[in-house]
């Protein structure tokens, strides 16, 4: 049987799966820790790929979603959070050499966008923006049925749009980026500050504050918790208005842990967008949807990438 | 001789030119006012096209740059500043019917980007951003050798990026857009406010204040005038940093009347960009250049569009 392999690499775990050419059900899927005692991360990666390699099958291509900035043309991963060993690591070439199989790699947020577009909530749209709101804020853009990657693969960093020029510092060191105003940690930080200021709230204080805890309080009508999602959603909505002016897509797909709060975050996002648009044309045919693939988006994007390679080889 | 025709329509003037297939020197070029006493703007357009039609020649295609939002797939111009007659005007179809010749149209800022990329300062780059700083701030983006137009042709409105959320109102009615902070009129308004506040300056007050007058004072070392360009350039540089994170291009091309101030505006732009980037990778191979085609950018973009049509027909 002819197959392809998809891999999703994270700072703590790596997953790989083998697929028939015409099915989304994996033949084998496996997960291991990125770091271990005896083997380096790349040795563990080799082990993982071997573990899903189909015994009696032919692997035509491999697609990899990697954390951190990656040049898809050269397959070089510039850096990866929590994998300090991989600085300027020639990821695609390493796998190609180990397995003698054509390999393509991409940034995980970009590939999650590709996955949602090919197999998830963005299916059928030619112009789509994907935002993942989680520990960070990542993004990916589909333009005319193609993933935006830019000259060196650094495009699509939608979480680093400046939305509040004098706002708090972002994880990247700059000020007031969308990630600094609307990520999970930034929602927690804002609530903490308000609690320290003496704002009344039913949010429990005997356990570490998380976006999930804040969402639970919001669902019970807690005003501070509701305000936290409204504030984050308004920043996201304002940023989306900017992205609409730039890209004029027909679908906005929102994924990541914070999107699990559902309407708590989606309603303020949808309320904010039209307030910041300069014309109603941008809303024509536009849908704003929760992502459909959850934690599988990156893996499914890697699958889409590995299958795209085959089409390019055939054409 | 086989030819194509390019047209650039503005609110006050329209220009058209006929070109051989392999030359940038027009066979005939003509200019008329958009409005007149007896004829409607579209009748004047017909007249203009006839005036450049090659007598003994065959016109294979027509390309049109139009002011205002336009859907390149349908050729419908939604609206045009200073041409109130053209609301939802089927511009491409009108010309096609009048001249029985395939016609394609695009937004003038987008086509100016196409012109600078094909024939001007952006030649040879695969990923390019064009910004025109003038009465308004317009833009256009080339991604992988293709013009970004979006689902309904409304993409590339880079002047409507929010750069100062609580800033003054933009011409579009929203607050703090790049256009509201860095266009010619916004530079003039800021200087006026400072003069009214009593800030000392050598800028002459016996004639209407213009960006050109402010540039002349800046060239003589006037601090207020220098500060006006530094402020506008810093906003533009900050916006460009956002665009680099989004598009990762290798060329930024700056055109429009305000760019005539040269280093007065380009230096603060170049100084600001790295301050707002979250990684040096975006500067790799990046050039920031003054536009090369001046007022011809839109017409040359229309020429590029008309020639692209031929390639599509042949392939």
> Which domains, ranges and CATH numbers included, belong to chain B?
2-112+295-314 (3.30.420.40), 124-292 (3.30.420.40)
Q: Is the pLDDT of residue B270 over 70?
A: yes
Instruction: Give residue B287's pLDDT.
Output: 98
Greatest extent of chain B over all pairs of C-alpha atoms, in Å: 65
Q: Report the relative pairing of strands B2-9 and A146-147 from DSSP bridges.
A: unpaired
Look at A155 and B248 and tell me if their CB atoms are within 8 Å.
yes
The strands making up A13-20's β-sheet, listed across from edge to edge, are A28-33, A13-20, A2-9, A58-66, A103-107
Average pLDDT over residues B225-247: 98
Q: Which of B37, B45, B137, B41 is nearest to B84 (CA)?
A: B41
pLDDT of B314 strictly over 80: no
Average pLDDT over residues B144-162: 95
User: Is the pLDDT at B217 greater than 80, yes or no?
Assistant: yes
Q: A-B interface: how many C-beta pairs under 8 angstroms?
A: 125
Q: How far is CA A195 from CA A156, A199, A202, A225, A265, in A?
A: 35, 5, 10, 11, 20
Average of per-residue pLDDT across B64-75: 91
When comparing pLDDT for B121 and B172, which is higher? B121
Give the mean model confidence (pLDDT) for residues B52-64.
Answer: 93
- For residue B286, the distance in angstroms to the closest alpha carbon of chain A comes to 10
* The pLDDT of residue B136: 92
Bridge partners of A290? A254
Average pLDDT of chain B is: 95
Does pTM surpass 0.90? yes
Q: Which residues from chain B sit within 8 angstroms of residue A141, using beta carbons? A: 246
pLDDT under 70 in chain A at which residues? 315
- Mean pLDDT value of segment B152-157: 94
Scanning A238-277 for CB atoms below 8 A from B yields 238, 241-242, 245-250, 276-277
d(C-alpha A245, C-alpha B161), whole Å = 7
Can you give the pLDDT at residue A126? 98
Task: Yes or no: say if B239 and B158 are a contact pair by the CB < 8 Å rule.
Answer: yes
Q: Where are the beta strands (DSSP E) in chain A?
A: 2-9, 13-20, 28-33, 58-66, 70-71, 76-77, 89-90, 103-107, 128-133, 137-143, 146-147, 251-255, 287-290
DSSP B258: G
In three-state secondary structure terms, B207 is coil
Give the pLDDT score at A315: 63
- B113-136: b (≥16 Cβ within 10 Å) or e: bbbbbbbbbbeebbbbbbbbbbbb
Q: Which residues of B touch A149 (CB under 8 A)?
A: 248
Tell the burial category of A206 from Cβ atoms under 10 Å away from its Cβ (0-12, 13-18, 19+).
Answer: exposed
pLDDT score for A68: 85
What is the Cα A58 distance to its own chain's centre? 30
Q: Which residues lie closer than 8 Å to A219 by C-beta, 6 or more apart?
A: A264
Angstrom distance (rounded) from CA B242 to CA A150: 14
Token digits of residue B255:
């055109």
Please check the confidence at residue B57 and state whether its pLDDT lies above 80. Answer: no
Q: What residue of B is the nearest CA neighbor of A275?
A: B174
Q: Does B126 touch chain A (CB under 8 A)?
A: yes
The Cα–Cα gap between A107 and A121 comes to 20
Give bridge partners of residue B174 from the DSSP assignment. none
Closest partner CB to B242 (pick from A144, A161, A276):
A161
pLDDT given for residue B206 in this prediction: 87
CB nearest B162 (choices: A157, A242, A282): A242
- B278 has a pLDDT exceeding 70: yes
Beta bridge partners of A28: A18
**B315 pLDDT tier (thresholds 50, 70, 90):** low
ipTM: 0.94
pLDDT-derived band at B230 (thresholds 50, 70, 90) equals very high
Please tell me which of the candidates B150, B277, B284 has its beta carbon nearest to residue A127: B150
In chain B, which residues have their Cβ closer than 8 Å to the Cβ of A250? 151
């Amino acid at each position: 049987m002819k197959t392809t392999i998809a891999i999703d690499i994270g700072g703590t775990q790596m997953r790989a799966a083998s697929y028939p050419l015409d099915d989304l059900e994996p033949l084998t899927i496996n997960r291991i820790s990125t770091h271990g005692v005896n083997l380096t991360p790349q040795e563990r990666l080799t082990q993982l790929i071997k573990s899903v390699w189909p015994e009696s099958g032919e692997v035509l291509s491999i697609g990899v979603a990697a954390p951190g900035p990656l040049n898809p043309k050269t397959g070089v991963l510039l850096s990866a959070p929590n994998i300090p060993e991989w600085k300027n690591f020639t990821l695609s070439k390493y796998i190609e050499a180990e397995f003698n199989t054509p390999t393509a790699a991409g940034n995980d947020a970009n590939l999650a966008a590709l996955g949602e577009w090919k197999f998830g909530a963005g299916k059928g749209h030619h112009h789509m923006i994907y935002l993942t709101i989680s520990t960070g804020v990542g993004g990916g853009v589909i333009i005319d049925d193609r993933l935006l990657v830019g000259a060196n693969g650094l495009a699509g960093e939608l979480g680093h749009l400046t939305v509040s020029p004098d706002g708090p510092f972002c994880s990247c060191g700059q000020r007031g980026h969308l990630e600094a105003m609307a990520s999970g940690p930034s929602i927690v930080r804002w609530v903490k500050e308000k609690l320290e200021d003496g704002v009344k709230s039913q949010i429990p204080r005997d356990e570490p504050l998380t976006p999930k805890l804040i969402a639970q309080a919001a669902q019970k009508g807690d005003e501070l918790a509701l305000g936290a999602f409204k504030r984050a959603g308004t920043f996201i909505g304002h940023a989306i208005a900017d992205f609409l002016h730039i890209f004029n897509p027909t679908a906005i797909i929102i994924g990541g842990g914070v999107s699990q709060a559902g309407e708590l975050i989606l309603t303020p996002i949808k309320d904010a967008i039209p307030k910041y648009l300069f014309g109603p044309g941008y809303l024509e045919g536009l849908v704003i949807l929760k992502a459909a693939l959850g934690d599988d988006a990156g893996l499914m994007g890697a699958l889409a990438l590995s299958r795209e390679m085959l089409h390019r080889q055939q054409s």
